[in-house]
Amino acid sequence: ETGVTQSPTHLIKTRGQQVTLRCSSQSGHNTVSWYQQALGQGPQFIFQYYREEENGRGNFPPRFSGLQFPNYSSELNVNALELDDSALYLCASSLRGGGAFQETQYFGPGTRLLVL
């Protein structure tokens, strides 16, 4: 069984730039969720993708967008980067439709983004 992987591991951008983060879901999972974890805080839900469509969104502006591909991998795109976007971005995958015991989220190691 392959776990959740994310790339890149670290990234440095400047304010105003755009960034794309990538996530490969765990084998057999069909749902991907993205979280932002600022330093010293708990993860904050950004959005979730299921069947290649956004399916639930947290309190994040539209410049945070995403994609899910037919193989269930996913991208998180952030436009017009701001200094406060500096954080650890976590991807989690789960299996929707496998019953409650299947819908547990498994997390990747994260991408640490620094905006200067």
Residues that bind other proteins (CB under 8 A): 4, 6, 33, 35, 41-45, 48, 50, 55-56, 90, 92, 96, 100-101, 103-110, 112
8 Å CB contact between 111 and 10: yes
8 Å CB contact between 61 and 80: no
C-beta of 52: minimal distance to other proteins in Å?
15
> Which residue, 35 or 85, is less far from other proteins as judged by CB?
35
8 Å CB contact between 22 and 74: yes
C-beta of 80: minimal distance to other proteins in Å?
26
C-beta of 51: minimal distance to other proteins in Å?
12
C-beta of 5: minimal distance to other proteins in Å?
10
> Which residue, 70 or 100, is less far from other proteins as judged by CB?
100
Task: Count other Cβ atoms within 10 Å, centred on residue 7.
Answer: 13
